[in-house]
Amino acid sequence: ELKVEQNPLFLSMQEGKNYTIYCNYSTTSDRLYWYRQDPGKSLESLFVLLSNGAVKQEGRLMASLDTKARLSTLHITAAVHDLSATYFCAAPQGAQKLVFGQGTRLTINP
**Rule CB under 8 A: which residues touch another protein?**
33, 35, 41-45, 48, 88, 90, 95-100, 102-103
Question: Closer CB to another protein, residue 88 or residue 108?
Answer: 88
Residue (32 or 79) nearer to another protein, CB: 32
Shortest spacing between CB 15 and another protein, in angstroms: 26
Contact at 8 Å (CB) between 101 and 89?
yes
Q: Which is nearer to another protein, 90 or 106 (CB)?
A: 90
CA atoms within 13 A on the CB side of 89: 28
